[in-house]
Amino acid sequence: MISITHFLIVSACIFSLGIYAILAKRNAIMILVGIELIINAAILNFVAFGRYDKIHYGGQVFALFAMVLAAAAVAVGLAIILNVYRHYRTINPDQITDLKD
């Protein structure tokens, strides 16, 4: 029997994977993938918790909106990264450091 704990453990694992992908920062695209992983972990949580919210279905509605917004943010992010690649010929954040103290 799969209980809510299983969902929460899976989502916590996905969240940690996302954080790792962001902190490793080899590549801007990988950071975007990490962001997607975190958002999906949150969506999984929302849907799992939403099962207990029979009146408002707040979790499921939230999951739908979160997916739409994540897609929008990633679309803008990819466009910006493409623009950066045109100027720098790299998308490794460690090598893009013109602006600093």
- Rule CB under 8 A: say whether 10 interacts with another protein: no
User: Which of 26, 65, 90, 92 contacts another protein by CB under 8 A?
Assistant: 65
Which of residues 1 and 101 has its CB atom nearest to another protein in the complex?
101
**Residue 13 C-alpha from the chain's centroid:** 13
> Is 78 in contact with 32 (CB distance < 8 Å)?
yes
Residue 77 C-beta: closest distance to another protein, Å = 5
Subset of residues 15 to 44 that bind another protein, contact rule: CB under 8 A: 15, 18, 22, 28, 31-32, 34-35, 38-39, 41-43
Burial pattern 37-49, b for ≥16 Cβ within 10 A else e, equals bbbbbbbbbbbbb
25: left (phi over 0), alpha (psi -120 to 50) or beta: left
φ/ψ of residue 53, rounded to 5:
-110, 75
Element (H, E) at 17: helix 4-24
- Rule CB under 8 A: say whether 60 interacts with another protein: no
- List residues binding another protein (CB under 8 A): 8, 11, 15, 18, 22, 28, 31-32, 34-35, 38-39, 41-43, 45-46, 48-49, 52-53, 56, 58-59, 61-62, 65-66, 69-70, 72-74, 76-77, 79-81, 83-84, 86-88, 93, 96, 98-101
